[in-house]
Structure 1
Amino acid sequence: MPYLWKAGVPVLVAAAVYFLPVPGGVDPTGMRMLGIFLGTILGLILQPLPTGAVALIGMAAAMLTKTESAARALAGFANTTVWLIVAAFFIAEGFLITGLGRRIALLFVTRLGRSTLGLSYGMALTDLILAPATPSNTARCGGVVFPVVASLSRLEDSHPEPEESRKRLGAFLTLTALQVNVVTSAMFLTAMAGNPVAQAAARDFGIEISWGRWALAAMVPGAVSLIAVPWVMSKIYPPTVDKTPEAPDEARAQLREAGPMSRHEWIMAATFVLLLLLWCLGDFLDIDATTAAFTGIAVLLITGVLSWKNLADNTSAWSTLVFFGVLVGMAAELNELGVIDWIGESVAGSVDALPWLAAFAILTTVYFYSHYLFASNTAHIVAMYGVFVGAAIATGAPPLFAALVFGFIGSLFGGLAHYSSGPAGVIYGSGYVKTAELFRIGFRMSVLNIAIWTSIGGLWMKVLGIW
């Protein structure tokens, strides 16, 4: 039965929209494309089948109904942004395979680990350092940060059960790791898989967002959020243990056991630095982000840090290729058929009587909290980013400002609920945090992030001349 309703709802919605009358300014096949697109998005949210399978079924439906030609349906697989995301998944694999990510985390624990607040800042710094080169925020949180958090929690006799045990340390550290992750994901174009999708959608409006421009605009509000989040968490969701004097010694013991950095770790670190340089100086060197990413992969393959088997076995990367390839193709078709313009004009029309700042505040708030309806940052971005950016621009918002703000929100709403993002699922699955706590803390921290990114972020972007 669960499978039937999860499969039935997307089909019913797709059929209902498919047969709607075609609005003025929209190509006759536009509503058919919108119906299939919405059905696919709902399928990705409800998950009657794995992500890649749902995407392929949606693509097959579009081709079978002649809504998209085979060539148009497959065009998304030639998108350089899609391949940037896939490439960066492979780079993230290097951090996990070599153990460099874990080593970085343990080093921070040796310096900052004598208190629970210090431990949380150590994990935040680890996440921040890894973020530019790990677009899988789930891999960063679940594969690097969470294993160290779980180890430190067990060291303090904090386990998921019983209640008193989980609240000693584990619940605080895991939930703080999630709220930190949404901030680091917003700070870099390559820190979350959906960010390059937003970049590509912004390009459709004639707005170019380079890796460096995104990072510069997010730098100040991101830094303030990273300072504020662990401290605020310690006040609204404090652990019962506030001192962890054994943690630095435990981290040193694990580092001694790991031994000196291996050859592969050194190569991974050097490749990471190379990638940062290429991404930062890409405009000056005339090297785009996708080329830089594949250059890094080539180095890792040539030096043996990664093997072809590592790449072939990375199901997350290939699933992402299928998922994004299909949806990017559909989104491009919707744009060509005039559907995105029609929706954007409709949304903008509901706030067009307001000053652009007031309209922008309403649009961003709706965009942020509509994420309660999504189980994926990226699915939300694909479905709604272009619509809301277009609506904001139509009300008079500066285009680059609007594109960046909605881009940042695409990561910041990932901590709202236990299903809001991959990292949220990792944290919830650990057993340290209860569902009601995640909803309650997620909402309160979202208000904090909105306040910081609106006030400090807005002023910073004003200084930069973005608006």
Structure 2
Amino acid sequence: MTITATPAQQPIGSPAEPTSNRKFAFLLLALALYAAVLLAPTPAGLSASGQVALGLLVLVIVLWISECVSPAASAIILTGMAVVGLIGKPLTEGAAPMNSTQALAQMLGGFSSSAVLLVAGALFLAVALKITGLDRRIALLVMSRIGISPARLVLGAMLVGFVLALFIPSATARVGAVIPIMVGITTALGLPVGSTLGAALLIVTAQACSIFNMGIKTAAAQNLISLSFMNQAFGHDITWGGWFVTALPFTLSMCAVLFLIAVFLLRPIVPEPREAEARLRQQLAELGPVTGKEKRLIAVAVGLLLLWSTEGLHPLDTTTTTQLGIALLLMPKIGVMNWSEAEKLVPWGTVVLFAASISLGTLLSRTGAAGWLANITLGQLGLEAMPLVGIIAALSVFNIVLHLGFASATGLASTLIPIMLAFTQTLSMGPDTAFGIVMIQAMVVSFGFILPTNAPQNMLCYGTGAFTMGQFVKVGLPLTMAGLLLILLFSATIWPLMGVL
């Protein structure tokens, strides 16, 4: 890997300056487009507040795609511009015009969502794993027990991703914990990071992360933001176990496809494995015996998993059980961390972005902007005349293509799911079927397989220098095609039998 100077070391006139200018140019572009949408004549069928909502959508899409500001900063900019735009406009037809206080209250509504509390709680759980070192112990244990061969190592990388996905809702945090293990295994075998083995392990780490994002309700923020919108539209949610069982056939199939692609397309080569096995044993030995904090964390994590998977059989929902678990972890003697050390490691920007995204989605829905946008985009494709599988196919392709321009699945979910919800309400089908269609699209939102820039975990792995963009695409394209075909296959067979559609 090439070592570059830090910003403090770079002289004036270095490449950092054009980067800063580029970011500022994109920020100006985003604000100019927002102003242009607001100043344009209001289209037929769209309210004045709906026009503001569309302007905000254009604003954040430019901010998210260009990454000219941080996610948290984009949320603050979104809230400020929303208040400015909504002053003097009624939220819905017949309502009184809003003042700044009312407009701000509307944009702060997302912070009161239970989904935001769940995300924050789950991020604290991820911090507990990091503080205790349990995430590293789990990864080392799995990789040391699985064995040293190309197929076994690829399988081990996938198993590590699955176990961590059960407890860590941040793809970045999960992959960040696993990358040093995968790089260590590669170098322990005397291979460079950019060898066929290094490329296979790091690509599988990124791609498996996206697969398990779809398979586990609490594994990704985009799942929770999608379900928040769906709960508002349909009046009900899906349990942790319900999501897991629904996604299970798809998740297992995608894992099998990824395994075959990695082994047969990338063809990783492993030399004499004894050194790698010894290194793994050494790293495990350096961790020492399982500590009391780790044991307490394991007990809480297993308890949470049991409560999540049996949601509906007891009176506690996923958010409540998660909060109770975090409360235990923060208690003296009983817990594993205190607030002062935990708060420094929680990515609060993720929480702020999540809440602001919910507010934007709610605004798009309440002002009628999502319905208007669905009508002029998806409504013009004649999907209502298609069979159910054809509708899912068209929506999935639309979703996958749109994702090529997004680096954040949370941003994509905030943009797309309200439009999907509005569109399904125009179709002549029952609410349960409509719920199933949107849930499938909420899974497809995580299809960040094609480019390294399609997901943060991809970029983390790409930053190791273990693989080229061409190698990533070589795996990502067939994986995406297989995923689309599996979505259609299960939409026509298993999911109707399960009552999803």
Mark the CA change 1:382 to 1:50 in structure 2 (over 3 Å): closer, same or farther: same
Deviations 1:124-149 (A, max 9, x none): 11111121221101111112x21210
Residues 361, 414 of structure 2: 8 Å contact kept: yes
Q: Say yes or no: does 1:69 pair with 2:69.
A: no
Further displaced range: 440-449 or 376-385? 440-449
Letter in 1 for 2:269: T
Letter in 2 for 1:104: I
Q: Say yes or no: does 1:341 pair with 2:376.
A: no
Letter in 2 for 1:374: F
Q: Say yes or no: does 1:29 pair with 2:65.
A: no
Q: Say yes or no: does 1:232 pair with 2:261.
A: yes
Q: Say yes or no: does 1:313 pair with 2:344.
A: yes
TM-score w.r.t. structure 2 length?
Answer: 0.87
Letter in 2 for 1:198: S
- Runs in 1 of length 4+ with deviation above 6 angstroms? none
Question: What secondary structure does 2:221 align onto?
Answer: coil
Residues 20, 31 of structure 1: 8 Å contact kept: no
Residues 154, 262 of structure 2: 8 Å contact kept: no
Residues 374, 380 of structure 1: 8 Å contact kept: yes
Q: Where in structure 2 are the equivalents of 1:124-143 lying within 5 Å? A: 124-143=158-177
- What's the counterpart of residue 13 of structure 2? none
Name the CA distance, whole Å, in 2 between partners of 1:218 and 1:457: 11
Name the CA distance, whole Å, in 1 between partners of 2:343 and 2:76: 20
Structure 2: runs of 5+ lacking an equivalent = 1-20, 88-101
Q: Say yes or no: does 1:10 pair with 2:40.
A: no
Counterpart of 2:75 (choices 55, 59, 75) is: 55
Shift of 1:304: 3.5
Counterpart of 2:217 (choices 189, 199, 205) is: 189
Question: What secondary structure does 2:493 align onto?
Answer: helix
- What's the counterpart of residue 163 of structure 1? none
Counterpart of 1:406 (choices 441, 444, 447) is: 441
Q: Where in structure 2 are the equivalents of 1:82-93 lying within 5 Å? A: 82-93=116-127
Name the CA distance, whole Å, in 1 between partners of 2:435 and 2:380: 21
Mark the CA change 1:389 to 1:236 in structure 2 (over 3 Å): closer, same or farther: farther
Letter in 2 for 1:149: M
Letter in 2 for 1:326: A
Letter in 2 for 1:434: T
Further displaced range: 254-263 or 186-195? 254-263
| Structure whose alpha-carbon radius of gyration is higher | 2
Residues 46, 369 of structure 2: 8 Å contact kept: yes
Name the CA distance, whole Å, in 2 between partners of 1:461 and 1:355: 15
Counterpart of 1:118 (choices 140, 152, 165) is: 152
Q: Where in structure 2 are the equivalents of 1:324-335 lying within 5 Å? A: 324-335=354-365
Mark the CA change 1:108 to 1:458 in structure 2 (over 3 Å): closer, same or farther: farther
Letter in 1 for 2:349: S
Residues 51, 319 of structure 1: 8 Å contact kept: yes
- What's the counterpart of residue 115 of structure 2? 81
Name the CA distance, whole Å, in 1 between partners of 2:259 and 2:272: 15
Q: RMSD across aligned C-alpha pairs, in angstroms?
A: 2.0
Deviations 1:292-339 (A, max 9, x none): 1111111111124121123321251x1112112222112211211111
Mark the CA change 1:185 to 1:458 in structure 2 (over 3 Å): closer, same or farther: farther
Name the CA distance, whole Å, in 2 between partners of 1:172 and 1:250: 20
Counterpart of 1:264 (choices 293, 313, 316) is: 293
Further displaced range: 79-88 or 253-262? 253-262
- What's the counterpart of residue 464 of structure 1? 498
Name the CA distance, whole Å, in 2 between partners of 1:40 and 1:7: 10
Residues 217, 240 of structure 2: 8 Å contact kept: yes
Residues 150, 170 of structure 1: 8 Å contact kept: yes
Name the CA distance, whole Å, in 1 between partners of 2:496 and 2:271: 39
Residues 363, 392 of structure 1: 8 Å contact kept: no
Letter in 1 for 2:352: V
- What's the counterpart of residue 39 of structure 1? 59
Identity of aligned residues (%): 25
Letter in 2 for 1:313: K
Question: What secondary structure does 1:403 align onto?
Answer: helix
Residues 183, 225 of structure 1: 8 Å contact kept: yes
Counterpart of 1:370 (choices 402, 419, 422) is: 402
Residues 128, 336 of structure 2: 8 Å contact kept: yes
State the number of aligned residues.
Answer: 459
Mark the CA change 1:458 to 1:293 in structure 2 (over 3 Å): closer, same or farther: farther
Name the CA distance, whole Å, in 1 between partners of 2:493 and 2:45: 38
Q: Say yes or no: does 1:212 pair with 2:246.
A: no
Shift of 1:245: 4.3
Residues 361, 418 of structure 2: 8 Å contact kept: no
Shift of 1:396: 4.8
Counterpart of 2:184 (choices 118, 131, 151) is: 151
Residues 418, 438 of structure 1: 8 Å contact kept: yes
- What's the counterpart of residue 95 of structure 2? none
Mark the CA change 1:457 to 1:125 in structure 2 (over 3 Å): closer, same or farther: farther
Name the CA distance, whole Å, in 1 between partners of 2:309 and 2:131: 26
Q: Where in structure 2 are the equivalents of 1:265-304 lying within 5 Å? A: 265-302=294-331, 303-304=334-335
Name the CA distance, whole Å, in 2 between partners of 1:361 and 1:221: 15
Question: What secondary structure does 1:415 align onto?
Answer: coil
TM-score w.r.t. structure 1 length?
Answer: 0.93
- What's the counterpart of residue 97 of structure 2? none
